[in-house]
Structure 1
Amino acid sequence: MTDPALRRDDYLGGRLSLWQPAKGYRAGIDPVLLASACPAKPGQSVLELGCGVGTAALCLATRVPDLVLVGVERQPEMASLARRNAAECGAHLEIVEADLTQLPPELRQRSFDHVIANPPYFQRDRSHSSPHGAREAAMGEETALADWVAVAARRLAPKGWLTMIHRPERLGDILCCLAGLGSVQIQPLLPREGRDANLILLRARKGGKAPLRLHAPVILHQGRMHEFDGEDYRPEISRLLRDGAPFPGLGAAI
């Protein structure tokens, strides 16, 4: 019997189906964009901080074979769903149930080629909290953004890459936190032509020395406004959302 508290949503054109809470927070396109921007290669290791039900990690696993995947999630119900989702799609995703600032010793002894993260976007001293626990944990910043970046940097192997998705208004905060990380690449994402960016993708490399790169904006939707029912993503964005293609804007992470 289906649990009415859950629903199953399709990602990557139905190549991936994930259980999520029926009410409250459900992952949208942000973790799919995050996964598409991670430059992982087969055989490499990836740690996701705050993995939720596993959306980004499992989207990445669908695109790139033979990854060593670990997800950290502090909410027991979300961690349980991430394990279920990984098992049902046949992915090898290890879920560690822990607060990212209090990782277990065995995880603190490991390093990774990549760390990916979709931290909560909103500072709660400047915005209102959600009544839904899972949504509030996903969207409301309780753990400082500086802690997310510091933990990611510690878990990266030398020359490893951090890939994040966040809001443009937090870019200054992120850049101030990147101690030990360089070769920064910033990709603005615009919802439509003529609009301001409402998301950014950011990459930074442990020990990287290359100059900061601010890439040309990528526009997600066609046209200046929504003019018809249904989706109107640009073809290159539709390919990554439906087919699991890598992100088209960021340069190669060599």
Structure 2
Amino acid sequence: MEAEVPPPAATQGYLLGGRIRYTQPKDGYRTGIEPVFLAASVPARPGERVLEAGTGAGAGLLCLERRIGGLHGIGLEIEPAMAALAAANFAANGYSGLAALCADVAASPLPRLLGAEPFDHILSNPPWHDASGTHPADGLRERAKMAEDGLLERWIARLAPRLKPRGTITLILPSRMIPEALAALGAGGCGSPVLFPLWPRPAREAKMLLVQATKGGRAECRMLPGLILHDGPAYTLAAHAILRDAAALDLQRR
């Protein structure tokens, strides 16, 4: 019998300017702004089914549910301790429509775990750091961040079949992974891709982009103007509205 994994030391905090109670590990992997922007860009409606791959402590689904309400969401997370934190965060905020499952997105039998019904939307902030680089000392941070060759392709290949026709899949990725993502999305039948750069400051290179594609979409790839994150030491008004006020990013109508 395997020994039970002890939960990591945790800190109590908030997301979206105090609108969401949020517990996360005290050390190692800490939530950044990525899941907040990711959740802001998902065009979900109340009552729809949403899947988050690599949910961590649940920040993405928490922010999405706070903005939309009435969702049926499942977060997949490979680390048992993090999946437990996500489930606790969902319960602490009274989001009974959200659930966390401990599963490896690239290897688990997803249809059995998730049921036969497809999802309206899928979102993910997948591991993307080069596995050949320096590895973090903290185990949770390493598994959340480091990605061996082909991991993104395998994730998309597993996730795309779980989408309804005209459903969306939304990712947040570094710029160097955009060609791989677009190829994998196309192979999975997800087209009409939209790219949305997150510029750190004016006239600076965008290191991160939101990528959204539609199951069965046939339109050409679009590059949107994107959003500037910082104005001096502070966030821009547009970024602040997303990070603190739960504002939406509509990538489909821009």
Normalization by structure 1: what TM-score?
0.91
- What is the rounded CA distance, in whole Å, between the counterparts of 2:113 and 2:119 in structure 1? 13
Deviation at 1:65, TM superposition (A): 1.0
Question: What's 1:144 paired with?
Answer: 151
- What is the rounded CA distance, in whole Å, between the counterparts of 1:203 and 1:121 in structure 2? 17
Check conservation: 1:183, 1:208, Cα contact below 8 A.
yes
- What is the rounded CA distance, in whole Å, between the counterparts of 2:177 and 2:81 in structure 1? 28
Deviation at 1:175, TM superposition (A): 1.2
Query: Is residue 2:172 matched to residue 1:165?
Result: yes
Structure 2 vs 1, CA of residues 26 and 211 (structure 1 numbering), >3 Å: closer, same or farther? same
Check conservation: 1:32, 1:59, Cα contact below 8 A.
yes
Question: What's 2:4 paired with?
Answer: none
Aligned equivalent of 1:74, options 66, 70, 78: 78
Aligned equivalent of 1:219, options 225, 228, 237: 228
Check conservation: 2:11, 2:23, Cα contact below 8 A.
yes
Question: What's 1:34 paired with?
Answer: 38
Aligned equivalent of 2:203, options 188, 194, 197: 194
Deviation at 1:134, TM superposition (A): 1.0
Query: Is residue 2:97 matched to residue 1:95?
Result: no
Which letter does structure 2 place at the counterpart of 1:237? A
Deviation at 1:108, TM superposition (A): 5.5
Deviation at 1:192, TM superposition (A): 0.3
Check conservation: 1:108, 1:155, Cα contact below 8 A.
no
Check conservation: 2:227, 2:238, Cα contact below 8 A.
no
State the identity %: 40
Query: Is residue 2:161 matched to residue 1:154?
Result: yes
Question: What's 2:3 paired with?
Answer: none
Query: Is residue 2:248 matched to residue 1:246?
Result: yes
Deviations 1:32-70 (A, max 9, x none): 000001111111110000101000001000000111101
Which letter does structure 2 place at the counterpart of 1:129? H
- What is the rounded CA distance, in whole Å, between the counterparts of 1:237 and 1:39 in structure 2? 18
Deviation at 1:252, TM superposition (A): 2.9
Matched residue SS, 2:65? helix
Deviation at 1:4, TM superposition (A): 8.6
Structure 2 vs 1, CA of residues 136 and 242 (structure 1 numbering), >3 Å: closer, same or farther? same
Question: What's 1:229 paired with?
Answer: none
Q: Which runs of 5+ in 2 are unaligned?
A: 1-6
Question: What's 1:48 paired with?
Answer: 52
- What is the rounded CA distance, in whole Å, between the counterparts of 2:77 and 2:154 in structure 1? 15
- What is the rounded CA distance, in whole Å, between the counterparts of 1:4 and 1:40 in structure 2? 32
Matched residue SS, 1:43? coil
Structure 2 vs 1, CA of residues 4 and 73 (structure 1 numbering), >3 Å: closer, same or farther? closer
| RMSD, aligned CA | 1.6
Q: Which runs of structure 2 are paired with 1:105-184 in the superposition (5 Å)? A: 105-107=112-114, 109-125=116-132, 127-142=133-148, 144-178=151-185, 179=187, 180-184=189-193
Check conservation: 1:32, 1:241, Cα contact below 8 A.
yes
Which has the higher mean CA deviation after the structures are superposed, 159-168 or 98-107? 98-107
- What is the rounded CA distance, in whole Å, between the counterparts of 2:88 and 2:216 in structure 1? 36
Deviation at 1:109, TM superposition (A): 2.2
Which letter does structure 1 place at the counterpart of 2:127? P
Question: What's 2:10 paired with?
Answer: 6
Matched residue SS, 1:116? strand
Matched residue SS, 2:238? helix
Deviation at 1:247, TM superposition (A): 1.7
